Amino acid sequence: MASKNGRLRVGVIGPGGAGRGNTLGFATRDDADVVAAADSHEGSLDALENAMQERVEDYKPNSMKRYLGDHEFIEMLNNEDLDIVGVFSPHSLHDIHVKYALRAGCSVIVEKPMANVVGDAIAITKIAIGSDLHLVGGYQRHYEDTYISGRRAIQEGLIGNLKKFEVYMAQRWGAGGWRGDPRFSGGGQPNDSGSHLQDIFLWMTETLPANVYGTTDMKFEDDDGNLVPKFVEINSYSDVKLDNGAEGTITILGNTRVGFEEWVILEGDEGTIEIKNGIRYIPKGGEAEPLSYSRPEGYPTSKVDQLVGLVKGDYQANYTSGINGVRTSWLTNSILQAGKGSDEKNNVDCNELIEKEGYSNQEVNELIDLCKTKQMY
């Protein structure tokens, strides 16, 4: 699908903040050109242009076509003959931007979360498959040796059957900018940075959520200890049961002063994997030992490399396919829904939640099986 000169034509929607970094990931390659960008804020386009001039070798100033406005991304898709579209817009816009890009015949990389609602995540994944286009999610941990090793160890039965787990993330997250507006964020920290930990946990264990019992709050204290009103979830505390019967906790915190902290502990009937400042394996009744595997030959180096390689035909497998957005949105929706109940803690049946979207557990499992036949993991 590469352009005539062998270089892919890339357009981006919403290249502000993290989106600018992702865009430069394409622009600094020797097989891709960022030819257009669309954003509703001129400042974001200015910042991207400046970054392109500073970081991209042989970039001709102002050669990137700019599309300014809420709906001009449609004009970009219609006019620019793009191979790849990067969707880096606010969370609530991912669904519509991805669908437009796929229907324009473009392969897509989309920042996390792939969609705010699990039903939309399923629809996006099906459109990509039906259109024979590539869809890559914004979950970079899939390309880190630590988590690749954890997934492989579980697949090889190192811990036996997963029984218990603890997933924890803490970050000084104050719901700044559009992330603090539920119209654009679709949910707070559990739907933002917390999405990464939910995703990598489900990717490594290849499980689906079955039940969530928990709560959320919107409590954030400033540096002086004053409680600052917020309109999205800052913290979540969830007891989670998976479809394989394993039970554990998922805690996502935004109100912390400790800096960034995360860990994943997976306990099986044969041993435990602990991912915390590295990865180690603790056999049942034994001593902890470091855990590592050689990186698989030909494994993509990043999510940008993953999509470019898929489009060019250099890679056959997609390690951040749409199914990850489905799993993660399903769990995130359940966590947020538990926080909306009238009681201090509320119970959410994950199957009932997805049925309200018009799908079922069986359909998701069938979609997972279909993805595996297409080397989409």
Number of domains in the chain: 2
Q: What angle do CA 361, 345, 209 make, to 5 degrees?
A: 20
List the CATH number of the domain containing 291: 3.30.360.10
Q: What angle do CA 356, 131, 184 make, to 5 degrees?
A: 50
- 220 with 338, same domain: the answer is yes
3-state DSSP assignment of residue 81: coil
Q: Evaluate whether residue 3 is within a structural domain.
A: no
The Cβ of residue 266 has, within 10 Å, a number of other Cβ atoms equal to 25
End-to-end CA distance of the chain: 22
The length of the chain is 377
Q: 68: number of CA atoms within 13 Å, CB side?
A: 8
Q: What are phi and psi of 332, to 5 degrees?
A: -60, -45
Whether residue 34 contacts residue 84, with contact meaning beta carbons closer than 8 Å, is answered with no
* Final residue belonging to a domain, choices 93, 118, 140: 140
b/e map 230-255, b = 16+ CB within 10 Å:
bebbbbbbbebebeeebebebbbbbb
- 131 with 179, same domain: the answer is no
* Final residue belonging to a domain, choices 103, 122, 140: 140
- 110 with 40, same domain: the answer is yes
The whole-angstrom distance between residue 261's C-alpha and the CA centroid of its chain comes to 18
* Final residue belonging to a domain, choices 118, 140, 162: 140
- 112 with 158, same domain: the answer is no
DSSP string, 207-267: --EEEEEEEEE--EE-TTS-EE--SS--EEEEEEEETTS-EEEEEEESS-SS--EEEEEEE
Q: Distance between CA atoms of 22 and 34, rounded to whole angstroms? A: 11
Q: Quote the pLDDT of residue 1.
A: 47
- 85 with 110, same domain: the answer is yes
b/e map 85-118, b = 16+ CB within 10 Å:
bbbbbbbbbbbebbbbbbebebbbbbbbbbbbbb
Q: Distance between CA atoms of 245 and 249, rounded to whole angstroms? A: 13
Whether residue 69 contacts residue 44, with contact meaning beta carbons closer than 8 Å, is answered with no
- 84 with 216, same domain: the answer is no
Would you call 5 exposed, middle or buried from its count of C-beta atoms within 10 A (0-12, 13-18, 19+)?
A: exposed
Q: 209: number of CA atoms within 13 Å, CB side?
A: 32
How far is it between the farthest Cα atoms of the chain?
A: 63
- 50 with 153, same domain: the answer is no
Q: Evaluate whether residue 38 is within a structural domain.
A: yes
- 136 with 280, same domain: the answer is no
Tell me: the pLDDT tens digits for 183-219? 999 999 999 999 999 999 999 999 999 999 999 999 9
- 278 with 326, same domain: the answer is yes
Q: Quote the pLDDT of residue 95.
A: 97
The whole-angstrom distance between residue 323's C-alpha and the CA centroid of its chain comes to 11
List the CATH number of the domain containing 69: 3.40.50.720
- Cα distances from 244 to residues 159, 207, 325, 349, in angstroms, run 14, 7, 20, 15
Q: And the tokens for 11?
A: 């357009």
Q: Quote the pLDDT of residue 6.
A: 83
Q: Evaluate whether residue 2 is within a structural domain.
A: no
Q: Quote the pLDDT of residue 4.
A: 54
- 107 with 153, same domain: the answer is no
Mark the ranges of the chain whose per-residue pLDDT is less than 50.
1
Query: Which range marks the domain in which residue 175 is found?
Result: 142-307+316-373
- 179 with 291, same domain: the answer is yes
Q: Distance between CA atoms of 126 and 367, rounded to whole angstroms? A: 8
Tell me: the pLDDT tens digits for 328-339? 999 999 999 999
- 269 with 156, same domain: the answer is yes
Q: And the tokens for 34?
A: 């960022």
Q: Quote the pLDDT of residue 258.
A: 87
**pTM, entire model:** 0.96
DSSP string, 91-153: GGGHHHHHHHHHHTT-EEEEPSSS-SSHHHHHHHHHHHHHHT--EEES-GGGGSHHHHHHHHH
